Amino acid sequence: MTRLAFGTLLALMPALCQAQELTMAPAARELSERISPLDNYELPIAGFADGTVPVRRFEGLVARRTFRINGASATTLQLLTPLREQLETMGFDLIFECEDRSCGGFDFRFETEIVPAPDMHVDVGNYRFLSAVREPDNAISVLVSRSGNAAYIQTIRVSPVQQQNGGKTKPATVAAAPNGELGLALERDGHVILRDLEFDSGAGGLLPGQHASLGQLASYLKTHPEQRIALVGHTDSTGTLAANIALSKRRASAVRERLVNNFDVDPSRVDAEGMGYLAPVGSNLTPQGRESNRRVEAILLPAL
């Protein structure tokens, strides 16, 4: 499908505009996507004062996304400005914007919802925040921070649920392949980290959960019958290489089993492998780095 020109997008109906997402810089790598079909979000509308952060509560489909730009030299203002301009083009009204100290520094950061590390990191002395609303029930916040030679971006967006079946409310459907973000990232980068998977410490079993990433991955495979993938487990550097390779493969195999049994994916199209600590994405000298290294990735293999 060809990409619509920017001017054409502006002329389309409002329903399509609601489906638009912010376009990040080319160097930005998505770290996480957490989508709750029906949830609430307390949108900050002012800085920290009198022991609290004033908020406005929204309900609907809540999408929490984080991104990282390695080797970033741009300031937080340079990173935030194009995102603010996109929101204005999409019809959002900016209701609050602040910079670290004017936000409330440490207090604002810890009174505001932040996606847990390692998917988001906030330097309390170097961040910017904005919140915007498109009435009556669309809202978004954008948080940008720099730490060392990396920049982090978090967006939390609330969209209204769809009205179907004679007025009964049905949660909006999370985007799925071929147009889902996970499928697009898989084709663009050749691999994607499945960040919403959880395992017991030192164990290979996948804990129960909705696991939106597996739903999108299964949808992608069903709509692309020629494609196949490998699930690859990774660990931090604690312990021996042999033990970590075994653990990482058990975790990848548990994810494969969940895809096959819960999402009806053809087992012949999914391999499971373990790399142990041989392919880190962060430093094993820090807790944040070790946490980011403990992951399962989906890798796109040559088509059948």
239 lies in the same domain as 262? yes
**Residue at a domain's end among 129, 147, 170:** 170
Mean pLDDT of 158-162: 77
153 lies in the same domain as 185? no
67 lies in the same domain as 23? yes
161 lies in the same domain as 212? no
Domain that holds residue 50: 6-170
pLDDT digits (tens, 9 = 90+) for 91-123: 999 999 999 999 999 999 999 999 888 889 999
pLDDT digits (tens, 9 = 90+) for 64-86: 999 999 987 889 999 999 999 99
Confidence (pLDDT) at 12: 30
Confidence (pLDDT) at 175: 32
Stated pTM of the model: 0.52
For the chain, how many structural domains are there in total?
2
Instruction: Look at residue 256 and tell me if it is in a domain.
Output: yes
Tokens 């505009």 correspond to what residue?
17
Instruction: Look at residue 72 and tell me if it is in a domain.
Output: yes
123 lies in the same domain as 268? no
99 lies in the same domain as 158? yes
148 lies in the same domain as 218? no
Give me the chain's average pLDDT, please: 83
Closest to 144 measured CA to CA, from 83, 235, 214: 83
Beta strands at 191-193 and 55-70: parallel, antiparallel or unpaired: unpaired
163 lies in the same domain as 194? no
Q: 7: Cβ–Cβ under 8 A, 6 or more apart, which residues?
A: none
Q: 153: Cβ–Cβ under 8 A, 6 or more apart, which residues?
A: 24, 28, 66, 67, 68, 69, 79, 83, 142, 143, 144
Q: What's the CA gap between 104 and 125, in Å, rounded?
A: 10
263 lies in the same domain as 211? yes
